[in-house]
Amino acid sequence: MTGTVTASVMLRKLAAYQRQNGLAHALRELGKVERTLFTLDWMQDPELRRRSHVGLNKGEQQNALRRAVFFNRLGEIRDRSYENQRYRASGLNLVVAAIVLWNTVYLQRAIDYLRSHGVTPKSHDLVHLSPLGWEHINLTGDYHWADDTLGPDQVPAALHALQRVSRRGLACASFRFRVFSSIRRDLTMSLAAD
């Protein structure tokens, strides 16, 4: 025995007591102090606020994608058995993961294409790309799930070709990318100033 215990076990034991003891009260007060310190840091640090908003926005994007995929039955799981509810939730997770994978592969191909044509996106701009878009995916249609699925060695041959762009179009795309980066940077700086 090492004399240590996990926080979850300790809190579960303390919550089980009928009468709250001094340790439970002290831990509650310590939690309040931690929340207060974080709130003060959050109010003083624009970078922390920006990172928090980025994380929240990514979570909201993922929730919006899940809602868009799960449009049938008004987004409600109406199965009575726990097992069927779990199957539906797992199916939703699988479809969302497939969309994210699909988008990630094509975003990487688009970035590689830009780089091969002399346009090098900045790494601080690439962190703002997200594979959570679904506007280009038909969510309402007939789906055929064939038994002859593709193996990992067949995937590159099965990908659709990227839209070919002329040199002029590539220059326009590069210009739009730089303008977008500049606008995003200015907006971030103005939000940080507030």
Q: What pLDDT is stored for residue 119 in this prediction?
A: 84
- Given a contact cutoff of 8 angstroms between Cβ atoms, the answer to whether 65 and 99 are in contact is yes
Tell me, what's the pLDDT at 25?
80
Q: What is the mean pLDDT of each run of 10 residues along the chain (194 residues)?
A: 77 76 81 91 90 85 86 72 86 88 88 86 83 82 61 56 58 51 53 53
DSSP three-state, residue 107: helix
Of the candidates 130, 133, 114, the one whose C-alpha atom is nearest the C-alpha of residue 122 is: 114
H or E element that contains 10: helix 7-16
CA gap 87, 98 in Å, rounded: 16
pLDDT at 37: 93
Give the pLDDT score at 189. Answer: 54
Rounded Cα gap, residues 13 and 24, in angstroms: 10
Tell me what pLDDT residue 80 has.
85
**What does pTM read for this prediction?**
0.58
